[in-house]
């Protein structure tokens, strides 16, 4: 684990589903109308599916970016841009677009995607303090030195008892 991260925050599928639904509730109670979701791959694909189902949004676009190799942050690469007809929804800048990602950490990814869609609403399930100012709506904040373990990155395995005895 990168030394920036001192704490773990493991999230189960059930917890992630619940938190993504909570995000959809928050977005539904706002005053914005969304014609499309732009999800930030790959992590944004899962919450985007849940939010789209809850909010009855059927137009889903992707913006494809890569920056982390597991927990090592590298150079940010945009692999696929947002289509021009989606960027124009609600006027230039994408006012009627909802951007969804799983989390914001340093805010580097969010900054790049926001610059593509300056009028869009940016939503994440989890947020850390450095990236929080870039997000309009989120559900749970964790400290900057916490690594969030997402359910698709984990598998079931043996955990030794707290006492340290094997059995």
Ligand X SMILES: O=P(O)(O)OC[C@H]1O[C@H](OP(=O)(O)OP(=O)(O)O)[C@H](O)[C@@H]1O
Contact residues for ligand HPA, defined by CB under 6 A: 68, 103, 105, 147-148, 150
Q: CA-CA distance, 108 to 104, in Å (whole number)?
A: 8
- List the beta bridge partners of residue 122: 99
> Could you tell me the smallest distance in angstroms from the CB atom of residue 80 to Mg ion?
13
> Could you tell me the smallest distance in angstroms from the CB atom of residue 127 to ligand HPA?
11
> Could you tell me the smallest distance in angstroms from the CB atom of residue 43 to ligand X?
3
Q: Left, alpha or beta for 94 (phi > 0: left; psi -120 to 50: alpha)? A: left
Strand, coil or helix: 12: coil
Residue 63 Cα distances to 80, 114, 159, angstroms: 6, 11, 37
Distance of CA 69 to the CA centre of its chain: 16
Binding mask 60-79 for ligand X (x = CB under 6 A): ------xxx-----------
Which of the following is catalytic: 2, 31, 69, 101?
101
152 binds ligand X (CB under 6 A): no
Binding mask 82-111 for ligand X (x = CB under 6 A): -------------------xxxxxxxxxx-
Binding site for Mg ion (CB under 5 A): 43
């Amino acid at each position: 684990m990168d030394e920036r991260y001192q704490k773990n925050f493991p999230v189960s599928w059930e917890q992630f589903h619940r938190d993504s639904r909570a995000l959809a509730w928050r977005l539904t109670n706002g005053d914005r109308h969304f014609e499309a979701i732009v999800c930030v791959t790959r992590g944004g694909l899962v919450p985007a599916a849940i939010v789209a189902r809850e909010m009855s949004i059927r137009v889903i676009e992707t913006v494809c970016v890569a920056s982390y190799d597991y927990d090592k942050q590298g150079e940010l690469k945009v692999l696929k841009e947002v289509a021009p007809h989606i960027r124009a929804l609600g006027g230039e800048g994408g006012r009627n677009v909802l951007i969804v990602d799983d989390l914001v950490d340093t805010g580097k990814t969010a900054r790049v995607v926001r610059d593509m869609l300056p009028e869009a609403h940016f939503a994440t399930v989890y947020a850390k303090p450095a990236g929080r100012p870039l997000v309009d709506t989120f559900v749970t904040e964790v400290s900057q030195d916490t690594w969030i373990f997402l359910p698709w990155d984990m598998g079931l395995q043996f955990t030794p008892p707290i006492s340290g005895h094997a059995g």
